[in-house]
Structure 1
Amino acid sequence: MQVTIKNAHLGQATSLLFDLALKGKQSRHRTKFIKLLAERSKEVEEQRKQLAEEHAKKDDEGKAIINDEKYDIPDQEAFKKDYQELLDELLIIEGGDAQGMLKTVKKVLDECDKEFSGQEAVVYDYLCDQFEKGDGAE
């Protein structure tokens, strides 16, 4: 089994899974899955800062100029394009030690009886789709 999640959906997926009432094995596997998402979210944020620094105006010493805790980025379009590419990249979780965890989280999503609406419903649908696509990749 292999599951892919776009960087853009990491935070929302984490929140949705975090709020589910689970116990035992399901809770432990959900927590392991959330840790993987959180680690990737941290990497994405570090990469976003690197992109901002690369696109920012530089001072005489070659350091990025920061005004009001924001990078001074003259070409916002170029930065947004690079940042969107980062958000479109995929986190791939597959096989090995992750196999049991992925099957458990898929089961949790399949059997979830919580009602979702709005953005939560969209994220739930996205996660279910990703797990269904990954189910054949064993």
Structure 2
Amino acid sequence: MQVTIKNAQLGQATSLLFDLNLKRKQSRHRTEFIKILAERSKKVEEQRKQIAEEHSKKDDEGKAIINDDRYDIEDQKAFKEDYQELLDESLIIEGGDAQGMLKTVKKVLDECDKEFSGQEAVVYDYLCEQFEKGDGAE
């Protein structure tokens, strides 16, 4: 089994899974899955800062100018393009040690009886799609 999650969906997927009431094995595997998503989210944030620094105005020493904890971006269009490229990249979690965890999280999503609406419903649908796509990749 292989599951692919776009960087842009990491935070919302984490929130949705975090809020589900689960016990025992399901809870442990959900937590393991969330840790993988959180690790990737941290890397994505570090890369976002790198991109911002690359596109920011520099001071006399060549360091990025930061005002009110925000980078002073010189070329907004180029920054947005590079950042969107980062968000479009995907995290791939597959087989091996993750096999049992992925099957459990898929089962949790398949059997979930919680009602979702709005953005949560969109994220739930996205996650279900990703697990269905990855189900044949064993």
TM range (shorter): over 0.9
Counterpart of 2:116? 116
Q: Which amino acid aligns with 1:81?
A: E
Query: SS at the partner of 1:130?
Result: helix
Q: Which runs of 4+ in 1 moved over 6 A?
A: none
3-state secondary structure, aligned to 1:97: helix
Q: TM-score, normalised by structure 1?
A: 0.99
Query: Structure 2 unaligned runs (5+)?
Result: none
Cα deviation per residue 1:52-80 (whole Å; 9 max; x = unaligned)?
Answer: 00000111111001112111112101000
Provide Cα deviations, 1:11-37, integer angstroms capped at 9, x if missing partner: 000000000000010000000000000
Give TM-score scaled by structure 2 length: 0.99
Cα distance in 2 between the residues matched to 1:113 and 1:72: 46
- Alignment partners' CA distance in 2, 1:43 and 1:19: 23
Gaps of 5+ in 1: none
The aligned residue for residue 34 of structure 1 is 34
Matched, 1:91 2:80: no
Count the aligned residue pairs: 138
Give the distance between the partners of 2:44 and 2:115, measured in 1 at CA: 30
The residue type equivalent to 2:103 in the other structure is: K
Equivalent in the alignment of 1:55: 55
Structure 2 counterpart of 1:75:
75
Question: For each residue in 1:93-132, what CA deviation from the matched residue of structure 2 results, as whole angstroms up to 9, or x when unmatched?
Answer: 0000000000000000000000000000000000000000
